[in-house]
Amino acid sequence: MADAHAHGHDHGPDHSHGGGHGHAPSYRGYWIAWFILLILTVVMIKIHNRNVLLAGIGIKSCIIGWWFMHLKHEARALVWTVVLGGLGFVLFLFYLMYFEAAKAIPSV
């Protein structure tokens, strides 16, 4: 009988492709990411500071992308595409909001 891992690559504790190897995927990383997101959310609610909110939004989006969108297993080019695309979209939205606020409040 052939070894279950004879196909030439090893899977870490958080990476299982469901090939029936008999080991369950570890959810530890997901729980840690969720706990960090929870703590950041509480901090963002308690501290009413624009810089803290912007930093928290950035950190939370990185954690979500890295763990829950599985970017940690992707090629570097795809990771940069997602990061730069997301950053470009956020800058575009800020641009739209700035000019909308300028129309509503003439002193802006």
Within a domain: 32:
yes
Contact 35, 41 (CB under 8 A): no
Domain extent, residue 92, equals 74-108
Cα 16 from Cα 33, distance rounded (Å): 18
Within a domain: 2:
no
Q: What is the mean pLDDT of residues 53-61?
A: 86
Q: What percent of the chain has pLDDT over 70?
A: 74
Residues 67 and 27 in one domain: yes
Q: What pLDDT is recorded for position 23?
A: 66
CA 2 to the chain's CA centroid: 38
Higher pLDDT, 86 or 13: 86
DSSP of 59-95, one letter per residue? Answer: HHHHHIIIIIS-GGGS-HHHHHHHHHHHHHHHHHHHH
Tokens read off for 59:
């950190």
Tokens read off for 102:
């300028």
Residues 78 and 68 in one domain: no
Residues 65 and 95 in one domain: no
